[in-house]
Amino acid sequence: MPEPEKQSNERKTLDDRQKMTELERIRHSCAHVLATAILRLWPEAQFAAGPPVENGFYYDVDLPHRIAPEDFEKIEAEMKKEIKANNVFEKMVVPREQALKDAQSGRLAALGERGFPSKFKLDIVQNIPEHEPISYYKNGDFIDLCAGPHVMRTGNIGAFKLTSVASAYYKGDEKNPQLQRIYGTAFKNKTEMEAYFNMLEEAKKRDHRKIGQEMGIFAMDPDYTGPGLPLWLPKGGAIIEELEKLAKETEFAAGYQRVRTPHLAKEKMYLTSGHLPILYAESMFPPMELDELKNKPEKRDERDQLGEKVEKLKSLVLAEADNLVTEGEGSTQRTDLVGQEREKFLLEKIREIRDEGNLDPGLASLLAEFETEHGNLLMMPQPTYYYLKAMNCPHHHRIFAAEPRSYRDLPLRLAEYGTCYRYEQSGELFGLMRVRSLNMNDAHIYCTEEQFAAEFNAVNEMYLKYFKIFGIDKYIMRFSTHDPSRLTGDNAKFVNEPELWKKTEDLVRQTLIDSKINYVEVPNEAAFYGPKIDVQVWSVIGREFTLATNQVDFAVPKRFGLVYRDRDNTEKTPLCIHRAPLGTHERFIGFLIEHYAGNFPLWLAPEQVRVLTIGDDEALVNYAKLIVNELRASMVRAESDFGTDKINGKIQRAEQAKVHTMLVIGPRDMEAGNVSVRVHGKGSLGAKPKAEVITDILQAIKERRP
RNA sequence: GCCAGUUUAGCUCAGUGGUAGAGCAACGGUUUUGUAAACCGUCGGUCGCCGGUUCGAGCCCGGCAACUGGCUCCA
């Protein structure tokens, strides 16, 4: 199991670094060899960071020449020379001044002095804490700023290969320059490296995109449907049905109620929820416009011109109002407000000042003109905007609001397999794992603070129940909390409710501790409305991703004004738990395909049973048809192959299609009232009485036998 | 969105500037079969799209799109 990565961007301590395994040392050393080779070819290269990573290493380099895979051969040739030279990795501890001087003269991450500074190394030196010693590692002519550790000699790198080139921002920050990241891998010897590449080949065969296509589970149709919008073929539809059945049974037993909501909603919904104002807008598809004036261009132009005029007036008024309110006495500033909410607030304030008669006459007439024109604008039909929903919660909140609620209604658990649409960046799309249309195993639990721990635990129990069914044993719960420095200001990412953040985070942390669930705390990654727990899993081929989620929301119910009447006859806002134990169909099925390598257990298998006849003799086919009909009458996905092919051919096709159970029927079976059972991957299990076989199939499906 | 690579028949892939190919699948026949491929034939392509270079472009050049590997982001 891959170790969970260090979640923070903090520097590794020197102690941490000493814990590097031998393989990591080999790879880290190989990164230095890579830099050495690149410098021999391009002496002007500027290096940033070159660490070992999970399956190898990389080195980030800034270089006018674009390194392409065609360059790998000559780079590898230079690397081989360096390894053959078997140079010692020599550690040198230097005074800070020396390091600064060498960075300035371009000596760091270089083969010799250069006429220009080693700019990234200079930056790195300047950021090394005062108390920490500074060291170099030298192999041959190459000297690099490096805390180590390394292998003894370059010759200790038994086998290596450059694998790919990608771009990466310096220090992972979008605002920093983009560097070329050269990836490679290294091993103690050739045999181990070959084993690794063989493993990669095997992994490719389990890729859900490949198996999904081969088995006919889903199709992508970027030209017609659009990128990231999978089409579920009948076989995928069958898996979806089974997952929904499982979720519905489980949720019904746990006291959930099912609801259905539309796929879109008016702009107001998302202005209220905060999705549009708070940094979520770019994840939503752009709005659909409904406009009465659509076919009246001249009216429309008139409105547009008036609209521009109003906007101009408004910005003038707001600029003045901003000065008045923020410079004025009494600290009425509300720096937490953004966008439309801030405008609304400023307008209210300036009207108050006017009503008190304290407004400068010039500004007052500007305000009056704005109000008149704004009024005129509102007299005209306005376009309305609809958005595809990116989340189900706002709709569920409106269901909560649709009826008066009492404390007796709580906890209220609303469940829906809701379809959401998210405008993921084009580079993010990835098979079924990252898509733009997604079906969430969603539910929202509205509860009181007292009920929170029990509800939260029940959700966690549900996760564990599902994981057992699917045989998922590698997972970790990531508890994401907020960053107090990002509650306000331009880079605000979280709703500005410091008290509530603290309270709910403590509540969740305590619940996690009490339940003894294995978790890691991840700072700064909460949802904008509250802390969350993501369940991270690893597919069998080592792909890591968030499968399920469990989030606390203390903010959005308040924004929607959701209340229930409590025992003491006061109105209170409920807490809301968002939870999606099966995540989305898209990601979950993508995961399951890789998890099972397409060899689904009987209950999930798209084609559960295929009946194969030996020959197409009429009596035999009739007997086989009876079996298929009997299975289908019990909702078993059974298909038939009654053609004239040889039985070996029929079996081969069924095996390749990963049909779970094959029932082979020849004259011998028919006479004895038997069927011959063959299970995918297990070979022939021999002939058994028909009734017995059917009963066992039904039982295995019912139990969801693994 | 950014960097790099890729795109030829439904699928897997050949094809180095001179008449677009193979296997599987599909379709039509022949074959009557006992646990991973019986045989013969037929169909199938504006070589991702648009433009350029050339007497001539699947191949060389440019733009766009999609996909793949990463980066940033996330269920």
Indicate whether A349 belongs to any domain.
yes
Q: At what angle do helices A96-104 and A119-126 cross, to 10 degrees?
A: 160
> From residues 630-649 of A, which are strand B contacts by CB within 7 A?
643-649
Q: Are residues A417 and A565 in the same domain?
A: yes
In a domain, A279, yes or no: no
- A133 token code pair: 């010693």
- How far apart (Å, rounded) are the C-alpha atoms in residues A45 and A382? 58
Residues A686 and A563 in one domain: no
Residue A334 has pLDDT above 60, yes or no: no
For residue A665, the Cα-to-chain-centroid distance in whole angstroms is 47
Q: What's the total number of domains in chain A?
A: 4
A251-307 residue pLDDT tens = 999 999 999 999 999 999 998 888 886 657 778 898 898 988 888 888 888 898 998
Same domain, A42 and A112: yes
pLDDT, residue A697, reads: 98
Q: Is residue A256 located within the same domain as residue A402?
A: yes
Q: How far is CA A64 from CA A46, A179, A180, in A?
A: 10, 10, 10
Residue A461 and residue A570 share a domain: yes
CA dist., res. A364 & res. A317, Å (int): 9
The model's confidence at residue A684, banded by pLDDT at 50, 70 and 90, is very high
Beta strands in A109-171 (DSSP E): 134-139, 142-145, 159-169
Residue A436 CA to residue A88 CA, distance in Å, equals 52
| pLDDT for res A337 | 58
Report pLDDT digits (tens) over A505-555: 888 898 888 888 888 888 888 888 888 888 888 877 667 778 888 898 888
CB contact set of A694 (below 8 Å; sequence gap of 6+): A627, A630, A631, A634
Residue A212 lies in a domain: no
At A56-100, the pLDDT tens digits run 899 998 887 778 777 788 888 889 999 998 888 888 888 888 888
CATH number, domain with residue A106: 3.30.980.10
Q: Which nucleotide is nearest to A578 (CA to C1')?
A: B75
Q: Is residue A604 domain-resident?
A: no
Residue A257 falls inside a structural domain: yes
- What is the C-alpha to C-alpha distance for residues A457 and A186, in angstroms, rounded to an integer? 44
Cβ of residue A225 near strand B, that is under 7 Å?
no
Query: Is the domain of A242 the same as that of A148?
Result: no
The residue out of A200, A215, A248 marking a domain boundary is: A200
In whole angstroms, B33 C1' to A697 CA is 27
SS3 label, residue A384: strand
> Do A375 and A395 belong together in one domain?
no
Q: Residue A383 has what DSSP assignment?
A: P
Residue A488 falls within a domain, yes or no? yes
- State which residues between 6 and 45 of chain A bring their CB within 7 Å of strand B: none
What beta strand segments (E) does A128-266 contain? 134-139, 142-145, 159-169, 178-187, 218-219, 231-232, 257-258, 264-266
Instruction: Say if A500 falls within a structural domain.
Output: yes
Query: CA torsion A255→A260→A264→A266, rounded to 10°?
Result: -80
Two structure tokens written together for A134: 């500074």
Residues A188 and A144 grouped into a single domain: yes
Joined together, the tokens standing for residue A682 give 């297990």
In a shared domain, residues A394 and A376: no
- Write out the E strands in A368-470: 384-388, 412-421, 437-447
Residues A547 and A443 in one domain: yes
The CATH number of the domain where A624 resides is what? Answer: 3.40.50.800
B chain positions with any atom within 7 Å of a protein CB: 1-5, 11-12, 30-38, 65-75
Angle between helices A618-633 and A690-703 (to 10 degrees): 30
- Check whether residue A159 and residue A298 sit in a common domain: no
Per-residue pLDDT, A325: 67
Distance from CA(A645) to C1'(B73), angstroms, rounded: 52
| Residue where one domain finishes, among candidates A200, A227, A244 | A200
Tokens of A592: 């399951």
Strand B: which residues 157-186 of A lie within 7 A (CB)?
Answer: 164-169, 172, 174, 178, 180-181, 183
Check if the beta carbon of residue A83 is closer than 8 Å to that of residue A119.
no
ipTM: 0.93
3-state SS, A546-607, equals EEEEEEEECCHHHHCCCCEECCCCCEECCEEEEEECCCEHHHHHHHHHHHHCCCCCCCCCCC
Closest nucleotide (C1' vs CA) to A646 is: B33
- CB-to-strand B under 7 Å, chain A 240-259: none
- What Å value separates CA A101 and C1' B30? 86
- Which of A204 and A174 is assigned the larger pLDDT? A204
pLDDT tens-digit series, residues A550-574:
898 888 899 899 999 999 999 999 9
> In which domain, by residue range, is A120 found?
14-200
Any idea what the CATH number is for the domain that residue A444 is in? 3.30.930.10
Would the pLDDT of A676 be above 50? yes
Residue A106 counted as domain residue: yes
Sheet of A384-388, strand order: A264-266, A384-388, A288-290
Average pLDDT, chain A: 87
Are A416 and A545 contained in the same domain? Answer: yes
First and final CA of chain A: distance in angstroms? Answer: 22
Last residue of a domain, one of A596, A630, A659: A596
